[in-house]
A and B are shown apart, each in its own frame.
Chain A
């Protein structure tokens, strides 16, 4: 018997068509035809297809009025002024990449200090950035304050999603941490780390990592494009190398061992003895392991240190503008989050508190400065160069 009426193909095609038509997109960008849109009245502009920045956007943020009203106030004056308004707002929405344990502690500190509630969304920096871009493109006001890596912040800045940074506490922050729409609240040092039971003679300088004494025991973590770009530029600008020579240094180091995936896994494999040294480990993670008596060391540092910056920024058009500005200060003031970061072995961005974060030998580290904006602008180039290095290890 022939089926009557219904053909699955027809239903599928209809669903497909409905789906294609159903998305009530604010914006589309098609090949050769760039269309932009203003998001949520706040002035943010994004393209729907990927994240290629568009050229025109309105930079007037809805929160600008409040920023203007607090201009010239001292920290405590601004705190009192904003708290008064924030009490009538809804709970603040914080998007962050900080881990659960520390975020929970910061959330409690916020609630205890101001008697204000908080909603937190936590994910990896890239995931947070992705979600924010998608939300902004749909005109959805998801976050009030965001705390992710500077690299991802730069992308949000380009899209006009962030308001100008206005905290009076920016004066105390390290110079490398100041950007137009966001401010570093903590830094992560990427340094060579070794297991002292395996490596008795740690590297004397960066190129020394290519020495045969590390052959077969070196582990290079594969995701650090930013670290690579900053050191590569340093080798070019400060050491007078050509790009080819600088990249070759990395290739020689990579040829000395294996490529690994994941910073923590790499350190664990170092502790377990699978590897003896890694050029790119997180210093704070080492400190945490060392507290448990793990055989890891990163001092003295005889190689250029790259500081990966994590920063806070206020949404251009937040649901809770006063709470957002208040929390920006809360993260940057030397009274709340900054000392807390020291207590959990992290490195705060406040220059006075930074020295406290390290033990003897760690307090005089001056990280080399990376041009985050330029690296983001050329990210594909850096990714490809890094890919060459990583692949050269296995060839």
Chain B
């Protein structure tokens, strides 16, 4: 089924409810109830805690209370800064991420091979290091890029990183890999026959992109914009390091302040977080309205389907050059800055003194940390474990919300998105609260961290899974069903393999970000369950930034290898070219 079809949503459950004995059907429904119940449990425990803590701080969440939470000096300006920052960031990240994904998947541009892994580099570098790298590259006084531009007479191109445009550029570039991954999967699942038909009918490449390609991936595009918007609203490092010196205060500074003062203002933090959740829910509502007719986006159908690259024609070289520039500026420059810092005892301007101070001491010192081996092992177990669990789990949830006609599916969709707005600290505190009172002895074990990662990254996993399932036509399931396949084997042998590019992309994302999760992990780990992010924090706290740079470089290398393996495995599971 292709674009423009008006075929109605398939009746649920085509292969689910009609067959089998009563016992089998009951078992299936029980399975479904477990999936939904588990989702609800993971998401609602922190939410209930958030609301309850907010209400219980004395005055309750009343209008007056809400007014008071927002009655901070400069609130209007702060809200305006937040909105401008997050909208601009979302546009930058979505444009860059989508363009990269499109060129990488759908075209015959040279150099695209290096893109998949390299475009993830900004995501892998811990936020704080990425921002610091950009300060040393784009600060008005000491930024190397700015100095270089001024020296070659291109001073008009300089950007001061301590400004709103500077914040948007840094955050947009840092977030663009999330969009890249989301869109990569979407483009991968687009049938090129439609683009080819358009080309045959005389359309130019820009026309094909605008009128065929982009409309086909609209669900993914809108989801990316929404996720970026919320991420922009709750981002912390960039507003703190770049925004505060520029006098650009944002929303998150307030949540942070409410949670670092005494007595803790849980009520204020709750009100701010609930506002973020409300924004997310409204956004999601519009996204799902825009995507209402899911069959319009189904491009993986029973017909022959070969994802083949689009010939860019005369655009081939301009696009490739833009690519190389992007690669040099966004990937190589900050990475080179990190590598440069990692050889120094502290940051120095490049010059004789700096090169004389070069040593491998920071790399050596990394292995002197007694917990480093354990932290790497724990992080590897947790990130791979939670990513694998989440992607498989969310594949089922996405199937329910996208392909079924179950009542309340939109609510389920919306619920999986709430954790996007949970501050990590609140999530951590809520889990301490619950698991110290439950007979389940997981406090102080890796399991509690597993729950954190699964909850926190559920919204992303869900978007990756939902986007990829939207493009799979129901007729494939029906065919399998007609041929006698059970729902389980249809899911395992048809749906999962077809969703593979999206699931792998989501998996990669969850692995990378869960290695970096700190605010909840730091409250919940104990000796024996240290994770890598705690190690990074320790170096940061101890002021060993250049040693941290060495860890950052190692992390980038390590995770790039892991991502490369995932990509290869994914290519074998998913649709083969």
- Which of A25-33, A55-63, A177-185 interfaces with chain B? A25-33
| Interface membership of chain A positions 296-309, coded 1 if the CB is closer than 8 angstroms to chain B and 0 otherwise | 00000000000000
C-alpha gap A91/B168 in the complex (Å): 49
B527 partner residues in chain A, CB cutoff 8 A: 119-121
Tell me if A130 counts as interface (CB < 8 A to partner B): yes
B166, chain A: closest CB distance, angstroms: 13
A200 partner residues in chain B, CB cutoff 8 A: none
| Interface membership of chain A positions 137-158, coded 1 if the CB is closer than 8 angstroms to chain B and 0 otherwise | 1111000000000010001000
The answer to whether B40 and A11 have CB atoms under 8 Å apart is yes
B429 partner residues in chain A, CB cutoff 8 A: 130, 134
The answer to whether B523 and A274 have CB atoms under 8 Å apart is no
The answer to whether B526 and A121 have CB atoms under 8 Å apart is yes
- Which of A45-53, A168-176, A324-332, A362-370 interfaces with chain B? A45-53
B263 partner residues in chain A, CB cutoff 8 A: 50-52, 379-380
B139 partner residues in chain A, CB cutoff 8 A: 274
B406 partner residues in chain A, CB cutoff 8 A: 3, 6-8
Known: A8-B409, A387-B73. A259 touches B346 (CB 8 A): no
A32, chain B: closest CB distance, angstroms: 8
CB nearest to A28 among chain B residues: B56
B432 partner residues in chain A, CB cutoff 8 A: 131, 134-135, 138
C-alpha gap A275/B33 in the complex (Å): 59
The answer to whether A264 and B540 have CB atoms under 8 Å apart is yes
The answer to whether A5 and B434 have CB atoms under 8 Å apart is no
B470, chain A: closest CB distance, angstroms: 19
Tell me if B336 counts as interface (CB < 8 A to partner A): no
Known: A24-B438, A288-B543. A3 touches B244 (CB 8 A): no
| Interface membership of chain B positions 331-365, coded 1 if the CB is closer than 8 angstroms to chain A and 0 otherwise | 00000000000000111110000000100000000
A260 partner residues in chain B, CB cutoff 8 A: 244-245
C-alpha gap A10/B37 in the complex (Å): 10
The answer to whether B56 and A261 have CB atoms under 8 Å apart is no
The answer to whether A31 and B141 have CB atoms under 8 Å apart is no
- Which of B41-49, B86-94, B485-493 interfaces with chain A? B41-49
A388 partner residues in chain B, CB cutoff 8 A: 73
B247 partner residues in chain A, CB cutoff 8 A: 259, 393-395
Tell me if B57 counts as interface (CB < 8 A to partner A): yes
The answer to whether B136 and A272 have CB atoms under 8 Å apart is yes
C-alpha gap A134/B432 in the complex (Å): 7
Pick the 5 closest A-B CB pairs, nearest first: A394-B247, A8-B408, A49-B56, A138-B436, A15-B40
Please give 16 more A-B residue pairs, beta carbons under 8 A apart, in addition to A140-B443, A274-B135.
A1-B405, A3-B406, A8-B408, A8-B412, A10-B408, A51-B264, A52-B58, A101-B542, A131-B432, A134-B429, A135-B432, A223-B260, A268-B132, A271-B346, A272-B136, A380-B262
Residues of B within 8 A of A (CB): 11-13, 17, 29, 32-33, 36-37, 40-41, 44-45, 48, 52-53, 55-60, 72-74, 132, 135-136, 139, 141-142, 162, 240-241, 244-249, 257, 260-267, 345-349, 357, 369-371, 400, 404-409, 411-412, 415, 425, 429, 432-434, 436-438, 443, 522-523, 525-527, 534-535, 538-543, 545
